[in-house]
């Protein structure tokens, strides 16, 4: 069975600095998607970035980028120029390429705080 692990329950960063959140996963599949979701205090799940496993290039969305290491099954999120609005719970998630039902497997989450 696939699993997703986030080993950092909490992280802290100074405003304008860079922070990296870690995620590892386990799967026997070769084609899949990985995601980072942000959950602010409002509880809304917001998609931050996604990565297709068959693409070697790391995904980037403005200040957010990933370091996807397929062989190591690692998928870290880098937030550059951190802003107060980045403070939230961040979840790493996995889904198979042609999964039935859109099923996501989530990590435990990392609580990110941003210090002014």
Partner 1 sequence: NAGVTQTPKFQVLKTGQSMTLQCAQDMNHEYMSWYRQDPGMGLRLIHYSVGAGITDQGEVPNGYNVSRSTTEDFPLRLLSAAPSQTSVYFCASSYTPGTSGQETQYFGPGTRLLVL
Contacting residues toward partner 1, per CB under 8 A: 4, 6, 9, 33, 35, 37, 42-45, 47, 50, 52, 91, 93, 95, 97-109
Nearer Cβ to partner 1, position 17 or 26? 26
Instruction: Measure the CA–CA gap between 73 and 110, rounded to whole angstroms.
Output: 18
Residue 22 Cβ vs partner 1, minimum distance, rounded to whole Å: 15
The residue (of 43 and 116) whose beta carbon lies closer to partner 1 is 43
CA–chain centroid gap for 41, Å, is: 18
Smallest distance, partner 1 to C-beta of residue 17, A: 26
Give the nearest distance from C-beta 41 to partner 1 in angstroms. 12
Which residues are 26's β-sheet partners?
A: 3
Distance CA(1)–CA(14), nearest Å, equals: 37
**Token digits for 55?**
């693409």
11 or 80: CB nearest partner 1 = 11
Neighbours of 51 (CB within 10 A): 19
In the bound complex, what is the minimum distance in angstroms from residue 81's beta carbon to partner 1?
Answer: 25
> What's the CA gap between 87 and 101, in Å, rounded?
31
Our CB check for partner 1 shows the closer of 43 and 56 to be 43
């Amino acid at each position: 069975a696939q699993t997703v692990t986030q080993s950092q329950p909490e992280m802290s960063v100074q405003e304008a600095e860079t922070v990296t959140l870690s995620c590892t996963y386990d799967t026997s599949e070769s084609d899949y998607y990985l995601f980072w979701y942000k959950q602010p205090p409002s509880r809304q799940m917001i998609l931050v970035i996604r990565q297709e496993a068959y693409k070697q290039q790391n995904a980037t969305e403005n200040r957010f980028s990933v370091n996807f290491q397929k062989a190591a099954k690692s998928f870290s999120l880098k937030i550059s120029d951190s802003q107060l609005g980045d403070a939230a719970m961040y979840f790493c998630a996995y889904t198979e390429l042609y999964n039935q039902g859109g099923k996501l497997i989530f990590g435990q989450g990392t609580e990110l705080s941003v210090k002014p």
